[in-house]
Amino acid sequence: MPRSPGRWLGAFVFLSPGLAYLVVLMLVPLALVFSYTVFQRGRFGGVVYEFTTENFERLFDPLYLSVVLDSLKIAALTTLIALLVGYPTAYLIAQLPKKWKTLALVAVVLPFWTNFIIRVYAWTILLSGPGLVNSALAKIGLGPLELLYNQGTIVAGLLYSYLPLMVLPLYAAIERLDPQLREASANLGASGFATFRKVTLPLTVPGVLTGCLFVFVPSFGNFVIPEMLGGNKSIMVGNLIRNQFLAARDWPFGATLSLALIAVLVVLLIVQAWAARRA
Amino acid sequence: MLKIDGVSRSFGDVIALDGVSLEIGQGEFFALLGPSGCGKTTLLRIIAGFERPDAGSVSLDGADLLGTPPNRRPISLMFQSYALFPHMTVAKNVAYGLERERLPKQEVRQRVGEVLETVGLSAHAARKPAQLSGGQRQRVALARSIVKRPRLLLLDEPLSALDKKVRADMQLELKRLQHDVGITFVVVTHDQEEAMSLADRIAVFDNGHVRQVDEPVSLYERPRTPFVADFVGANNLFHGTAGGLDGIKSERFGMLAGTPLEELAAEAGALLAVRPEKIELADGGASSGLAGAVLDVSFYGGVSHVSVEVPGHPKPVLVAVQGAATVRPGAEVKVRWAAEDAVIMAADQ
């Protein structure tokens, strides 16, 4: 901890580049966006600086509220599936011999080596009417199915994109666990399942919470995946915000929606931090 | 009760156990003693079921153990790191094994209470392991192991994580506890003093082999192999060839007095071992003994250690004398001992 003035100065010198970056490129724009929430929209975009609470009233319009709830539902479902798929994966990787472990971890992050948009675009080709999946289904006498442009497709796309963010923190948590705790549990008469339920799972809860947060946050605010895989409908908050700024040219309401999105995420962060401390 | 027969285990090129056979009796306090990496912990893990031997058999009360999964063996293991569950309170840790047996809540609570009383931790039942001292954690681990009333309790270096003073207290407590609960204890340790003071019998391990199984006093006074003579306690070792019933023939010193534990073939390589406290420090002008010069004197309170440089002997001869030593470094002395105080064994085992 810096105590003397000299140390404060030193700390300031080293912090200032990062601090400047944060203030100029994040805090200031964020403050601007938030200030728009209490003003009226301009006729062709922009803001008219006259105070109003109309934007917050619109937020509770059932139309918009349902979009927020749908976003929550889609993000929550994605997170849950990611957890159910990611935990066994992370557990198995943690049990592998050392060199295989490295290989498996590289495989987990391998998709990140290709551009995000391209990967999501690839899904539209795979799932489209005459696409690879449908033609394969046709061979076994099924389909063609309507695979694109519904909520299930969005969940699949989000899951595909963010599953590694679940696996990695889970792997870190499981790997750190003292293997002797599992041996001690077996020695005291516990079956494999009881050991998992009573020892492994409770001790990896912080990793579970981190993974859930890593998947939920980008899923909740996402607009690329719903737009490409969900059709050009305002299904999730992300699309709605984008449309308010770019299509409807209603900056104040877009700003209000952004504020709502951030508020939800901050609440989740606080809950996560609280739960992680208790675990 | 526990019968280990011809157990071998290797990891790649490293042979951890090579045909180890041991028999441990009901109610015995048995120690596996050896330097680190000698295979004793591997044997413990085989008995507990976390490791499988490549060959050999292990049986408990006549029933084969190796086919039984670790969670069904009536054996408790106290880990060197204690392996307490960090997210559970002391009481929860201790109750864990009983809850796995699906015992009624009432009985679990009662037995946990009793065992915490036994180890003197009743007041700490609601604490988490991180809030305890090393000695307290060790007691929780012990309580957690004995509360299941196992047939056999294995202890892996039980006292190594404690500081010296606590260790001495816990040694006494372990002995008392073993006596009270009547469970067979098998303790793994590299600390020979710990093994000596705790165990009824000790098996000395070296490189995957058992070198000697004996009571502590016999092990100390009548080591049967060079490794045991060197590893257990301080010893002065002299090499030579078999010289009949009262000594060995040393190239440098001629006949050295000693008693062979078993008859050695004539001219066979022999090793004579004599304890520091059995050596008499005589005046330089004495008529018999090996002549040398005092190198160093260290005072330990009750005893003093005098090391004597004897020309022709590779290491200084260590002599223990009662109280403060009267000699000073540099003094000319002679060291000698009675034939019955030195043991002779074959050098090639």
Domain architecture of chain A: domains with CATH = 58-278 (1.10.3720.10)
Q: Tokens standing for B264?
A: 């050695």
Among A180, A189, A202, beta carbon nearest to B97: A189
Each domain of chain B, given as residue ranges in start order, spans 2-221, 235-346
- What pLDDT score does B164 carry? 78
Domain covering B235-346 in this structure, CATH number = 2.40.50.140
| Whether B208 contacts B16, CB under 8 Å | yes
| Residue B336 to residue A275: CA distance in whole angstroms | 73
pLDDT reading at B113 higher than 90? yes
Is any Cβ of chain B less than 8 angstroms from the Cβ of A187?
Answer: yes
| Subunit contact A279:B87, Cβ cutoff 8 A | yes
Which residues, including other chains, have CB under 8 Å from residue B156's CB and lie 6 or more apart?
A: B41, B44, B77, B78, B79, B80, B188
Shortest CA distance from A187: residue in chain B: B71
- Which backbone phi and psi does A139 adopt, to 5 degrees? -65, -35
Please compute the mean of the pLDDT values over residues A204-226 and round it to a whole number.
92
CB A182 within 8 A of CB A195: yes
Task: Give the pLDDT score at A224.
Answer: 87
- A94 versus B162: the higher-pLDDT residue is A94
Contacts of B261 (CB under 8 A, 6+ apart): B222, B224, B343, B344, B345
Q: Is the pLDDT of residue A1 over 80?
A: no
Q: Tell if the CB–CB gap between A180 and B81 is shorter than 8 Å.
A: yes
What are the tens digits of pLDDT across the range A229-264?
A: 887 665 788 888 988 888 888 899 999 999 999 998
Q: Which residue has the higher pLDDT, A46 or A2?
A: A46
At residue A272's C-alpha, the angle toward residues A110 and A95, to 5°, is: 45
Band the pLDDT of A146: cuts 50, 70, 90. Answer: confident
Q: What is the mean pLDDT of chain A?
A: 88
* H helix or E strand, kind and range, residue B249: strand B247-250
Percent of chain B, pLDDT > 70? 100
pLDDT value for A42: 83
Contacts of B48 in chain A (CB under 8 A): 183, 187
Q: Cβ B75–A187 below 8 Å, yes or no?
A: yes
Please report the pLDDT score of residue B38 as a whole number: 84
pLDDT digits (tens, 9 = 90+) for B203-249: 999 989 999 999 999 999 889 899 999 888 889 999 988 877 888 88
Domain B2-221 class, CATH top level: alpha beta
Which pLDDT value is given to residue B301?
Answer: 84
Beta carbons of B85 and A199 less than 8 Å apart: yes
Contact present, B247 and B259 (Cβ < 8 Å): no
pLDDT tens-place string over residues A160-188: 999 999 999 999 999 999 999 999 999 99
Facing A186 at nearest CB: one of B70, B81, B86: B70
CB contact under 8 A, B83 and A184: yes
The pLDDT assigned to B253 comes to 86
Torsion of CA A78, A84, A90, A91, to 10 degrees: 170
Q: Which of B98, B100, B108, B147 to mutate to test the interface with A (most CBs of A within 10 A)?
A: B100
pLDDT digits (tens, 9 = 90+) for B277-332: 999 988 888 888 888 999 999 888 888 999 999 988 889 999 998 888 888 888 89
Task: Report which listed range, A3-7, A125-129, B178-182, B276-280, is most confident.
Answer: B276-280
Q: What is the pLDDT of residues B114-159, one digit of tens each?
A: 999 888 899 999 999 999 998 899 899 999 999 988 999 999 988 8
State the pLDDT at residue A85: 96
Q: Rounded mean pLDDT of A98-126?
A: 89
Q: Residue B5: exposed, middle, or buried by beta-carbon count in 10 A (0-12, 13-18, 19+)?
A: middle
* pTM of structure: 0.80
Interface probe for B, chosen from A182, A188, A204 (most Cβ of B below 10 Å), is A188
For B193, residues 6+ apart whose C-beta sits below 8 A from its C-beta are: none
Contact at 8 Å (CB) between B343 and B278? no
State how far the alpha carbon of A271 is from the alpha carbons of A192, A201, A209, in Å: 31, 19, 10
| H/E run at residue B166 | helix B164-181
Separation between Cα atoms, residue B229 and residue B224, nearest integer Å: 7
Q: Once rounded to an integer, what is the mean pLDDT over residues A45-62?
A: 87
The alpha carbon of residue B123 is apart from the nearest alpha carbon of chain A, in Å, by 23
Under the banding of pLDDT at 50, 70 and 90, the label for residue A218 is very high
Convert the pLDDT of each residue in B38-48 to its tens digit.
889 999 999 99
- pLDDT at residue B179 greater than cutoff 90: no
Contacts of A176 in chain B (CB under 8 A): none
Q: Tell me which chain B residues have a C-beta less than 8 angstroms from the C-beta of A279.
A: 87
Using CB atoms, which residue from A187, A198, A202 is nearest to B48? Answer: A187
pLDDT at A45 over 80: no
Interfacial residues of B (vs A; Cβ cutoff 8 Å) = 48-50, 69-72, 75-77, 79, 81, 83-87, 96-97, 100-101, 144, 148
Contact A222, A236 (CB under 8 A): yes
Structure tokens at B142: 């012990």
